[in-house]
Structure 1
């Protein structure tokens, strides 16, 4: 079974589309912006090699091609604090001139939603450019003897170790999932990103891990091919009715609700499940987003949105999207604004339950 193909993206792969960019027409406001000779920094608040870094490096050359004036767009990694360090720096230092953007993950918005004391950014003030839905896959070391999700019950009596960025990061979703499944998982905190978690898995320091779709496709598939990793389940995707279904990028893997039912013999329910669902929605259907600072002039915002639209219609983008981003439609403009608002409004009951659970289990103070 093929889980994807390796992908090595370069600026040259998209520069052929530059001629098309010259003929694009956008709004008059978008045409007013000009980044000729400029250097744009796309801040990724994680270390290199993880899902958000992979995603950001995929998008950067397309912005370079399709923004007016074709600026040089570079990725700047600022890891730390489960992504709050980079987000705090963006809030404090980024000017509203279009020369600094940030690419976030659920690990950036979860601390914000949970009112984590490290957060010094007001995310709802930022100007959203695009949202990238994604998924994630949980996998284990093949030495555990597990072949698929059908063998989940054999993990109940095994002590598992998971490399985590922090309990209030995007890792909240897997930690809640492990709790629901009743697995004995020791969270090893301090990872600078999911890429660091994967490297810890490869070194044998942890034996259960998850990666978002882009990192899984590119970096975990080789581990599966050589037989050192076994995929168990994906988080799933949302259908138009708000139901969690199988992830279209991994149709042969059960979704988390399916895996739960396979293990427990019943559908998930209860307050822990309701909390899980709320943060899953906030973390994955609109998990990765590109923002500009608050007060960015409308013509610059429109230039970025027009560039994102142009990229998603480009043949190179369409040809390469699946290998890096998976089978997910990129959300741009007003639809991105709507899903951003939904993702940053978690029901108060779910927030309160999760805060209490995090305090009781991991001594997180709010």
Structure 2
């Protein structure tokens, strides 16, 4: 669990970036951003899917925000991005001068862990989501595990960032739902850390969004450097119609309901949010800026160049999706929680320092 020492560290960064007095809640439209520095907290490592989409958005949203603010992006990948959730809920100023984007793994953590995570995502001021992205579970080309049937018979190590990250929780739920034998090794620094572990052979596979694969290692799929085992989500990714859905393999109603819950969480991919209790006029300004940005031809052209798929939804839709996730029936949550408890992610071993 991320410590409050870490949260205070982010608070210090925010204080350094926001060296101006906060504007009053009654400031005229956009006046509060004029000439200001706006902090973007990125709950992912440098070069990963969350980072790439977050920085892309930051480069273009400035054209749709009045006052010509400067956006300062800061990466905080610890714990799968949980520190950003906690900072947004408890530390970030609620005046519209700080916003965040993060991996969606910690979004469901309060539902799945019997511990106080100190944030409530239902109180966040949601701006929108960048995409609705199916996940894929894959292994490296040299692995003996090449299909979903192989994954049900042969145990392999899969890499993850934090124990609360989607790269950890998704394979654990899949173990419970369809009988895969994924052993989660967590603790790698951001997406790039997991990618390097795969390339070094420390782990054999991972479960991650298609978007992340396309952006970070665009040659892996076309050059058959990985084996795509199956995909998770409510529907298939349009580019991979022949790759089976995990729900097609599920054998019981309980398993299918668990996968439906998992699919709902995947519908909130690369979300953007302000802290709770941001004044309504500033919320409206930011939501309009989000909607205008994701339709901006220049933004879409650069997203295409980066191989980043954009399937946006506005803030009110994300708010509804989050509330629906948190209305999941207790019996399904019990199955999901049991899967987390049964197959706890192991933290990767730290390298010993060489003695002089």
TM-score by length of 1: 0.78
Instruction: Select which of 281, 293, 305 maps to 2:287.
Output: 305
Counterpart CA distance in 1 for 2:325 and 2:287 is 19
Shift of 1:115: 4.3
Equivalent position of 1:248 in the other structure: 238
Gaps in structure 2 of 5+ consecutive residues: 1-26, 347-356
Equivalent position of 1:71 in the other structure: 69
Post-superposition Cα deviations, 1:294-329, rounded to whole Å, max 9, x if no partner, equal 121112111111111111221122334456575552
Instruction: Select which of 187, 203, 206 maps to 1:206.
Output: 203
Counterpart CA distance in 1 for 2:173 and 2:188 is 18
Equivalent position of 1:275 in the other structure: 258
Counterpart CA distance in 2 for 1:346 and 1:81 is 24
CA contact (8 A) 1:247 1:255 kept: no
Shift of 1:290: 1.1
CA contact (8 A) 1:134 1:328 kept: no
Counterpart CA distance in 2 for 1:337 and 1:215 is 24
Counterpart CA distance in 2 for 1:311 and 1:123 is 23
Equivalent position of 2:135 in the other structure: 136
Counterpart CA distance in 2 for 1:127 and 1:39 is 20
1:96 aligns with 2:79: no
Runs of 4+ in 1 over 4 A off after TM superposition: 322-328
Equivalent position of 1:108 in the other structure: 106
Counterpart CA distance in 1 for 2:148 and 2:279 is 52
TM-score by length of 2: 0.80
Equivalent position of 1:239 in the other structure: none
Counterpart CA distance in 2 for 1:30 and 1:313 is 26
Shift of 1:166: 4.4
Equivalent position of 1:222 in the other structure: 219
CA contact (8 A) 1:116 1:168 kept: no
Gaps in structure 1 of 5+ consecutive residues: 1-28, 237-243, 261-266
Counterpart CA distance in 2 for 1:304 and 1:363 is 37
Post-superposition Cα deviations, 1:265-307, rounded to whole Å, max 9, x if no partner, equal xx542323322321321x2112332111112111211111111
Counterpart CA distance in 2 for 1:359 and 1:146 is 25
Question: What secondary structure sits across from 1:101 in the alignment?
Answer: strand
Equivalent position of 1:169 in the other structure: 165
Question: What secondary structure sits across from 2:272 in the alignment?
Answer: strand
Question: What secondary structure sits across from 1:245 in the alignment?
Answer: coil
Equivalent position of 2:232 in the other structure: 235
In structure 2, the CA distance between the partners of 1:126 and 1:153, relative to structure 1 (3 Å rule), is closer
Counterpart CA distance in 2 for 1:185 and 1:335 is 33
Shift of 1:195: 3.4
Show the 5 A alignment for 1:315-326: 315-322=297-304, 324=306
Equivalent position of 1:330 in the other structure: 312
